[in-house]
Amino acid sequence: MSKPNLKQVVVAGGTGLVGKALIRALLHQGTRVAVLTRSPKRLIMPAGAKAHPWENLSGLLEGADAVINLAGEGIADKRWSAARKQAIHDSRTVTTARLVVAMQACAQPPKALVSASAIGYYIPRDEVPVDETAEAGSGFLAEVCRDWEAEALAASAAGVRVALVRIGVVLAREGGALPKMALPVRWFQGCKLGSGTQGLSWIHLDDLVAMLIEAARNTAWVGAFNGTAPQPLSNEAFTGLLAKQLRRPLLPVPGFLTALATRLLLGEMAEALLLQGAFVRPAHAQALGFQFRFPTAAAALEDLL
């Protein structure tokens, strides 16, 4: 396997939680970073990174070591309406297709495309481990992931190595799911959601960033990879660890009440994101020797909280 140094990387979707951390990590190792954004003049970049508009993509991608594609509207930012679901779908598939078309127009295409996907790809399965060989599920999130990945895989026709990273729940200090999950626990209102048996497949932000960079530089990384830690938990077990770390009790609220309240508050999004889940394991990454700094939720929560 080849692990060349990354001299030039293009990042699409570099303004979000994961994108910002990724850019910092790439710059730290001496990589030049070009960030694709709709508003380059408004974006303040750290030294070594430069913001670019989406025009003239072919010139920007020409000869790059890798493109890391994280672009897409936030899944949980707003309640799902028909228009919101269309925006979530199109912001991923249309953007990825645009990148691939530009790669195909390059005289020297990028060596690799690392494209984000999500574990919403899989069928929810209580307590049954899921790896990259598992079949796709049905419903909105699975459809988005399938279409998203199909657009990225089209880059292989241009000789670009494609790695798909199906990202789980990202745990970080600065944002994402963890502060929202910790808030009710801090205020003595924490409890399991629904039955509590649904899988919660998570990953520490630092490990996800390391995985994205490894996928960009290691030629053995081809195909689908689960961007999750090796020890997923049930919702109830994760909430219990969170309460232990914050030294708070959990409320013994019946599961049907929390499920009802969650559905009333979030609608369709509640079922897809919170009341169902899978126990997703990163078998492909581990088979290639990837080492997690935070393999357990206890270690991740101790670091972050």
pLDDT tens digits along 179-235: 988 998 898 888 888 899 999 999 999 999 999 999 999 999 999 999 999 999 999
pLDDT exceeds cutoff 60 at 161: yes
Contact yes or no for 53/34 (Cβ under 8 A): no
Query: Which residues neighbour 197 within 8 Å (Cβ) at sequence distance 6 or greater?
Result: 126, 127, 234, 235, 236
* CA-wise closest residue to 22 among 196, 165, 184, 202: 165
Tokens of 265: 């508050």
Average confidence (pLDDT) over 292-304: 97
pLDDT tens digits along 44-53: 888 889 999 8
Average confidence (pLDDT) over 89-111: 96
Average confidence (pLDDT) over 128-145: 94
pLDDT tens digits along 7-30: 999 999 988 999 999 999 999 999
Beta-strand pair 233-234/199-200: antiparallel
pLDDT bucket at 250, cuts 50 / 70 / 90: confident
Average confidence (pLDDT) over 283-300: 98
Predicted TM-score of the model (pTM): 0.95
pLDDT tens digits along 47-98: 889 999 888 788 899 999 999 999 999 998 889 999 999 999 999 999 999 9
Spatial distance between the Cα atoms of 69 and 112, rounded to a whole number of angstroms? 11
Fold annotation for 8-171+202-228+279-294: Rossmann fold (3.40.50)
Q: What is the per-residue burial (b if ≥16 Cβ within 10 Å, else e) of 189-200?
A: ebbbbbbbebbb
**Cα end-to-end span (Å), the chain:** 37
State the pLDDT at residue 262: 83
State the pLDDT at residue 2: 62
DSSP lists the bridge partners of residue 296 as: none
State the pLDDT at residue 78: 87
State the pLDDT at residue 46: 84
State the pLDDT at residue 76: 87
* CA-wise closest residue to 218 among 108, 64, 71, 111: 111
The burial of 175, by beta-carbon neighbours within 10 Å (0-12 exposed, 13-18 middle, 19 or more buried), is given as middle
Contact yes or no for 5/32 (Cβ under 8 A): no
State the pLDDT at residue 28: 95
* CA-wise closest residue to 181 among 190, 226, 101, 14: 190
pLDDT bucket at 146, cuts 50 / 70 / 90: very high
